[in-house]
A and B are shown apart, each in its own frame.
Chain A
Amino acid sequence: MEIVEVVRAGGKPFKRAYVSIFLWFTGRAIQAAAKVDEQVRREFNSLPDDFTFSLGVLPDGPWMVIGREKGQVKYLGGDPEGRHLHVRLAMKNIETAFLILSFRESTALATARNRLITEGEVPQALAMIRVMDIVEVYLLPKMIARLAVKRYPSWTPGRKFFGRIGIYSRAMLGI
């Protein structure tokens, strides 16, 4: 009799690695953007003081956690276990995550296609989606960012240039 090999969630190492690195860097970039970009700062200020947010892949990761601690926005690592999360954005599986995070589908379309599950209060979730859209515009070249957001914003060249430098350097250094 033939033994059928069970495909485990641990498979697809390339996609998993890509998604892990992406989430790690986005987490640090959001922390940086909260210091550099006025609009991101304002979005976070409208959220509760102990606000915690997680983005990741079902069923068992990878995840990234962002939170507010004493007024500062911090990347809190990759383990949401045991934390109270205000908002969780969960991508249905690693394939879906790869599709979304390689910008072949916008956040909005992914939600419309039931690939991205939003948990938590709607106004807070919407604020986090706006934050992620802004961060994507900073991190990605226009050609790619256009695919990730509904509408590419018309920022001043100054905002884009200095914001990009600030966010990339802070995200690299983790400050």
Chain B
Amino acid sequence: MVLPDYYEFCCRVKIVAGHDALEQIPGLLSEKGAKKPLIITDKGVAGAGLIDVVSRVLQDRLAGILIADNVPPDSDLRIVHQLAQFYRDNGCDAIIAVGGGSVMDTAKGVNIVVSENASDLMAFSGAGALKRPLKPLIAIPTTAGTGSEVTQVAVIKDHEKHLKMAFLSYFLLPDVSILDPRMTMTMPPFITAMTGMDALSHATEAYYCLQKNPLSDAHALSAVSMIYQHLPMVVQNPSDLNGRLAMSIGACLAGIAFSNSMTGIVHNLGHASGSVCGVPHGLAMAILLPYGLEYNMHKCEDIIARLLLPMAGETDYLNTPKEQKAQKVVSLIRQMNEDLHILTNGRHARCFREVKDREGKPMVPRETLPEIAGAALLDGASMYNPEDTDYTDNLMVLEAAWEGCPLDLSKVKKG
């Protein structure tokens, strides 16, 4: 166990989890004194009938239900302001966010504007700009991945000015997060696979990054065990309600872990490949995760080795020689990607050269790797990675991850 001299840990979100968790919403709202919530979601979630499930729970208890389903796949400043206006015009008093990362970010942004009675969200960007609690926010994730139902961050893009602003405050933590398997059951297998790998990358990175501490460790380890065991099951059998619930809880645990101990090179390069080539976040995480472990191996082999227990179970853990434990963790994650590749009929990419867009065109041409390596130097996740990363390190990892071959550990600079 690594015991840092000093650390901070905070997660004050009430988690309501279970097969009929949604039914608790009216009670939870009245606990907060709210009568008129605004439901914020996107077209995909609404189209899948998930809002109907939520409204059915609410309709006999609340007078009118307001739904805004115009959140774009990428959070957008203009939409945040629009939704805030809608909230004010209708005299709402709480927000229910139903969706993935972009919906959660948007809802947090709207909440800042309406609670602070502000005209411009951007005045509150950065860390520590918020000084008091916001309006009640209930988060209902529809993917088991981002963990944004328990994080204090929101990222909002200003597409007109090409700016990406981050908002960081404990007041952005939702008041309640509801984990109900009905909300993730309709997710198609390949999205289940990549969002699940995002969650696994949160747990794993939280466990080896510099801000790790005993409390984040506890969350990370249970997250790894939950996700590793249930992800292939739900990809194979999407309507497995118990598996879905386990995945939601795993992703939530992972979210608590990484929002307190931060992430490293996997997210660093993942953010960059997303901004340069548009690689979906979860897919980038799935591809990069084994490389992140390999890259940091010489700095934290003992720590990585401990992940074998929640993954492989007691017998395998005990039967694996000490010096092979960490390497086994890496190969189990690679095997997981292989399995997901087969279960999704090849849609789950195992390396960057396999990532294709809707038309089947490769999304990451090899020539873009230098640009990604450079873009990663602008991203804060590098700060918390155990080993230093410069342009050439980034490029080396990206090239291996493009090809899909293990990292040549003798080439990793060790200082």
Contact = CB atoms under 8 A, between A and B. Distances in A.
Contact of A112 (B382, B384, B387, B388): B384
A58 interface: no
Interface in B149-172: 166
B378 A114 contact: no
A73 B312 CA distance: 54
9 contacts: A109-B210, A111-B210, A113-B211, A123-B378, A123-B379, A150-B387, A150-B415, A151-B387, A151-B413
A151 B382 CA distance: 13
A112 B211 contact: yes
A150 B379 contact: no
The listed residue with most A CB atoms (<10 A of its CB), out of B166, B382, B383, B386, is B383
Nearest to A105: B5
Contacts of A71: none
A129 B379 CA distance: 13
B388 A113 contact: no
Contact of B415 (A113, A123, A154): A154
B129 to A, nearest CB: 11
A28 interface: no
A3 interface: no
Interface string A95-132: 00000000000001101111100010011011001000
B8 interface: yes
A111 B380 CA distance: 11
Interface string B1-40: 0001111100000000000000000000000000000000
Contacts of B377: 123, 126
Given A126-B382, A151-B413, A154-B413, 15 more contacts: A108-B210, A108-B383, A112-B209, A112-B210, A112-B211, A113-B6, A122-B380, A123-B377, A125-B380, A126-B380, A129-B383, A150-B386, A152-B415, A153-B415, A154-B415
Q: Summarize B's interface: helix, strand, loop or mixed.
A: loop
A126 B6 contact: no
Interface string B368-402: 00000000011110111011100000000000000
A82 B413 CA distance: 43
Nearest to A149: B388
B95 interface: no
A125 B382 CA distance: 12
Interface residues of B, number: 25
B167 to A, nearest CB: 13
Interface residues of A, number: 20
Nearest to B386: A150
With a 10 A CB-CB cut-off, give which of A112, A113, A114 has the most chain B CB atoms.
Answer: A112
A146 B414 CA distance: 12
Nearest to B212: A112
Nearest to B414: A151
B185 interface: no
A152 B379 CA distance: 21
Contacts of A152: 415
B103 interface: no
B262 interface: yes
In the A-B complex, the 3 residue pairs with the smallest Cβ-Cβ separation, listed nearest first, are A151-B415, A123-B378, A151-B388
B378 A122 contact: yes
Interface in B113-156: 126-127
